[in-house]
Amino acid sequence: MESVPTAWAVRTETEAEVPTGHAQPVQRGAGLRTYLAPKLPAGPIVASRTPAVRLRSLVGPRQRTAAKTIGTRLMAPRSRRRFQELLGGGPLLLNLGSGTYNAPGWVNIDLWGLHAAWGVQPDVIWDLRRPLPLPDGSVDAVFLEHVLEHLPAPVGLAAVDQAFRLLRPGGVLRISVPDFGRYAREYAARKTAPTAPGVIDAVRPGRPTDLLALAEVVYDHGHVSIWDDETLVVLLEAAGFTDVAPSGFGAGRVGPSPDSPQRQPESVYVEGVRPA
Ligand SMILES: C[S@@+](CC[C@H](N)C(=O)[O-])C[C@H]1O[C@@H](n2cnc3c(N)ncnc32)[C@H](O)[C@@H]1O
């Protein structure tokens, strides 16, 4: 009986073979194996895993998000009261998905989580996939930095629709995401000619291949969607925003700038205005 092909099976380091006379340098393959080992997903796969790798695969980004969602639901009554307190107290600037970066002058909002471990607590705990308990047109600006890529694109559109509802006429939506377009252009350029160091070397240096650097933007960190300036502009226009255009780091219509410096090297920024 023919044996079942096992090309997809992940082999352990000791099983690795480099065929005699193979043109590929041994170092490149070994580097790939080392690079991929911590990324092993959960589920049945032919490989010997260390306990540390097994544990990490059990609590991947999706499991962590599920735990955060439950904690956020439990906090909802307290968060509703917090939102009510914010009304009528001057300009209301919302930083949705603030993570461990609290933008000064903004109301920083995120899921429940272990932010305290980084010495940071959001001002309000809320799941932005649910309607924020604030009246229509009660907000002056909304900011989402490196959040959209954590949402499926249709959920991203719903989040932008929600920002439109919350903003007063003339209010501003500002979005920042990893610029997949810049990665893709650089990938293509580096295939044909030497280029000056760019986003790949700045943010994801030393990967076994450039493609693996791009794959991180698509698949790692809990990312489920990819974006570029053109797609962000279309997204904001689809929600009804006007004057939609790319913006620069630290620039834009709203102050104080909420852009976090560590995000600058790989980010694209787009702003739009809620029309009257
Ligand atoms: C990559 S972090 C970005 C944090 C911060 N904005 C920054 O740029 O440093 C993505 C953040 O989005 C938050 N997030 C993802 N889905 C969310 C949701 N449904 N509601 C609220 N926050 C969410 C995550 O908890 C996480 O803190």
- Sequence ranges of the domains in the chain: 13-58, 61-179+227-273, 182-214
CATH class given for the domain over 61-179+227-273: alpha beta
Give residue 66's pLDDT band: very low, low, confident or very high (50, 70, 90): confident
The H or E element that residue 268 is part of is: strand 267-273
Secondary structure class of 113 (helix, strand, coil) = coil
Give residue 190's pLDDT band: very low, low, confident or very high (50, 70, 90): very high
Give 147 Cα–ligand 1 centroid separation in angstroms.
5
Give residue 1's pLDDT band: very low, low, confident or very high (50, 70, 90): very low
Asked if the model's pLDDT at residue 93 lies above 90, the reply is: yes
Average pLDDT over residues 46-64: 65
Residue 80's pLDDT is what?
A: 97
Residue 4's pLDDT is what?
A: 32
Q: Quick one: which atom of ligand 1 is closest to the CA of 113?
A: 25
Mean pLDDT of the chain: 86
* CB neighbourhood size of 215 (10 A): 14
Cβ pair 149, 228 in contact under 8 A: no
Q: CA of 250: how far to CAs of 107, 153, 174, 260, 268, in Å?
A: 18, 26, 11, 9, 12
Cβ pair 181, 151 in contact under 8 A: no
- Separation of alpha carbons 3 and 268, rounded Å: 50
Instruction: Provide the token pair at 239.
Output: 């929600």
Residue 14's pLDDT is what?
A: 29
- Identify the residue whose C-alpha is closest to ligand 1 atom 25: 111
- Identify the residue whose C-alpha is closest to ligand 1 atom 1: 146
Q: Locate tokens 């995120």: which residue?
A: 110
CA angle 129, 133, 139 (to 5 degrees): 95
pLDDT digits (tens, 9 = 90+) for 221-266: 989 999 999 999 999 999 999 999 999 999 999 999 999 999 999 9
- Separation of alpha carbons 45 and 24, rounded Å: 26
In this structure, are strands 267-273 and 242-247 parallel, antiparallel, or unpaired? antiparallel
Q: Quick one: which atom of ligand 1 is closest to the CA of 115?
A: 27
